[in-house]
Amino acid sequence: MKSKLTLLAILSLPLFGFSQRLNVNAGTSFSKIDYQRLYGDYFVTDYEQYFMGVNLGFQLDYLEKEHFYLSSSLNYLQKGGTKEYVFPSQTEEKLESSRLNFNYLSLNTVINYKLSFLPFEKLNPVVFAGPRVDYLMGYNSSLDLDINANDLMFGINAGLALRYDFQKFSLGWNAHFLHSFNNLADINYEPPHNWHKIKDLSFSTQLSFGYNF
Tens digit of each residue's pLDDT (9 = 90 or more) over 194-205: 556 788 899 999
Indicate the fold that domain 22-32+52-81+101-185+202-212 takes in CATH.
Porin (2.40.160)
pLDDT: which is higher, 158 or 45: 158
pLDDT per position as a tens digit, 108-125 = 999 999 987 766 777 889
pLDDT of residue 29: 96
Q: What's the chain's average pLDDT? A: 82
pLDDT tens for each residue of 50-102: 899 999 999 999 988 888 999 999 999 999 888 876 655 555 656 667 788 89
**CA of residue 134 relative to chain centroid, distance:** 8
